[in-house]
Amino acid sequence: MTDRSQPADATPDATPDAARQDRAADSTAAAAAAADAAAIDAAAHPAVAVPPGAADPAEMRAHYRAEGLAEADLAPGPMEQFGRWFEEAAHVAEQGGLYEPNAMVVSTVDAEGRPSSRTVLLKQYDERGFVFYTNYTSRKAHDLAANPRIGLLFPWHPMARQVVVTGTATRTGRDETAAYFRTRPHGSQLGAWASEQSSVVASRAELDRAYEDLATRYPEGEAVPVPPHWGGFRIAPRTVEFWQGRENRLHDRLRYTRTPAGAWRVERFYP
Ligand SMILES: Cc1cc2nc3c(=O)[nH]c(=O)nc-3n(C[C@H](O)[C@H](O)[C@H](O)COP(=O)(O)O)c2cc1C
């Protein structure tokens, strides 16, 4: 019989100290969230007009009939399993059934525990984890400097699949960043310089002007230096869940969790 009093993600590898710190962080975050909610309640809520005949999300039901995912079919490690699913997603994308299979939603929390999510592009994966590139002055980078814990989600809806990752982010080395930067199109290299990502810009014209100035300074064919404020994050996974949609909402969820000894434990979760 499953002990339902345990949170689903309670893991025996959490040390008592780590668990205590997590609880302390949770209560601080809960207090901050309560303050946020009170502020929202205090504000006036204007009525939102929904046009007659508008699409109703409650009425939208896709029926998943996909093949299941069995423990026996899994690769020994999550990155190898990810590689298998990523290949299949890339194949579906080639057939036009999926757009940008390397797009993933990245979630971070700031120093006060406020979460935020955004889409980025996966640029590399291997046994060490998942890599994306961004601006180190961005909101997500500030969040990760304060708290390197991170969530990733690959939403492969047309395949009735998602991959959900939790882990820890570290910056890629400058050589690795430079090697990737040089593979980017010239315009994207200039764009990395032109954008002070996540800060307020006075107008679209200001952004375009910054780009034009850079394009004059570094015309096509001229080497663009790697911006010091730009680079990669590598996410070393702690858990990787493979979710396969099935009929009647009886989906398959198989999750790898890294054990303290560095091996991988696989568990099945209720959908
Ligand atoms: C499909 C797609 C791919 C994106 N890829 C990246 C990316 O690889 N790196 C990046 O910094 N932003 C990317 N963005 C923009 C981010 O979603 C986000 O707006 C930006 O990174 C600033 O996020 P932040 O203010 O939360 O740090 C992408 C957006 C979309 C919709």
CA of 235 to the centre of ligand 1 (A): 16
Residue 217: active-site member: no
- Per-residue pLDDT, 145: 98
Of the listed ranges 24-33, 101-110, 177-186, 216-225, the one predicted with least confidence = 24-33
Mean pLDDT of 195-221: 96
The domain of 203 spans 185-225
**For the chain, how many structural domains are there in total?**
2
Nearest CA, atom 3, ligand 1:
120
Note whether 72 and 164 are same-domain residues: yes
pLDDT at 233 over 50: yes
Asked whether residue 129 is assigned to any structural domain, the reply reads yes
Task: Return d(Cα 152, Cα 150) in angstroms, integer.
Answer: 7
Is 235 strand, coil or helix?
strand
Is there an atom of ligand 1 within 6 Å of 31 CB? Answer: no
- Per-residue pLDDT, 9: 42
Asked whether residue 8 is assigned to any structural domain, the reply reads no
Note whether 207 and 245 are same-domain residues: no
Question: Can you give the pTM of this predicted structure?
Answer: 0.84
Task: Return d(Cα 26, Cα 20) in angstroms, integer.
Answer: 10
Note whether 83 and 116 are same-domain residues: yes
Mean pLDDT of 151-180: 98
Which residues have a Cβ under 8 Å from the Cβ of 47 and sit 6 or more positions away? none
Nearest CA, atom 12, ligand 1:
120
Asked whether residue 34 is assigned to any structural domain, the reply reads no
Asked whether residue 50 is assigned to any structural domain, the reply reads no
Asked whether residue 40 is assigned to any structural domain, the reply reads no
Asked whether residue 145 is assigned to any structural domain, the reply reads yes
Tell me: is residue 243 an annotated ligand-binding position. yes
Q: H or E stretch including 117?
A: strand 115-121
Give tens-digit pLDDT for 63-104.
776 689 999 999 999 999 999 999 999 999 999 999 999 999
Note whether 193 and 120 are same-domain residues: no
Mean pLDDT of 139-143: 98
- Per-residue pLDDT, 118: 98
* Banded model confidence at residue 195, pLDDT cuts 50, 70, 90: very high
Nearest CA, atom 5, ligand 1:
120
Asked whether residue 167 is assigned to any structural domain, the reply reads yes
Note whether 136 and 249 are same-domain residues: yes
Note whether 234 and 203 are same-domain residues: no
Is there an atom of ligand 1 within 6 Å of 184 CB? Answer: no
140: closest CA among 109, 180, 179, 94? 109
Asked whether residue 261 is assigned to any structural domain, the reply reads yes
